[in-house]
Amino acid sequence: EAGVAQSPRYKIIEKRQSVAFWCNPISGHATLYWYQQILGQGPKLLIQFQNNGVVDDSQLPKDRFSAERLKGVDSTLKIQPAKLEDSAVYLCASSLEILSVTFFGQGTRLTVV
């Protein structure tokens, strides 16, 4: 079965610019997650969707980060404007339902200069 697809793999932007990441989960997976992994740290959950709805976005910096899940399938994560501390790998993951086995994409490595 196809895995979780993410694009782009790498992105370099200047601070105060905007950036968007795209994720296509495994077909049929109702739950979709976005994680932020800063170098040397474990992944931190930014937002969790169940179908179209947001289950948890308590750690999403809502003044600059936004995310949506179109028709309960693909998702985009946007940062506007970016800060230097946003440099990280952004991981998308999906599961059939909350807390069944979670599959991760390869991530998007963002560098803000």
Partner 1 sequence: AQSVTQLDSQVPVFEEAPVELRCNYSSSVSVYLFWYVQYPNQGLQLLLKYLSGSTLVKGINGFEAEFNKSQTSFHLRKPSVHISDTAEYFCAVTVIQGAQKLVFGQGTRLTINP
**Cβ(32)–Cβ(92) below 8 Å:** yes
Q: Closest approach of Cβ 101 to partner 1, in Å?
A: 6
Q: Residue 9: which residues within 8 A CB-CB, separation 6 or more?
A: 106, 107, 108, 109
Q: Closest approach of Cβ 16 to partner 1, in Å?
A: 28
Q: Where does this chain touch partner 1 (CB under 8 A) — which range of 15-23, 35-43, 71-79, 80-88?
A: 35-43
Q: Closest approach of Cβ 68 to partner 1, in Å?
A: 19
Please report whether residue 99 would count as binding partner 1 according to CB under 8 A: yes
Given the complex with partner 1, which of 4 and 19 has the nearer CB atom? Answer: 4
Please report whether residue 32 would count as binding partner 1 according to CB under 8 A: no
**Residues within the interface to partner 1 (CB under 8 A):** 4, 33, 40-45, 48, 55-56, 91, 93, 98-99, 101-107
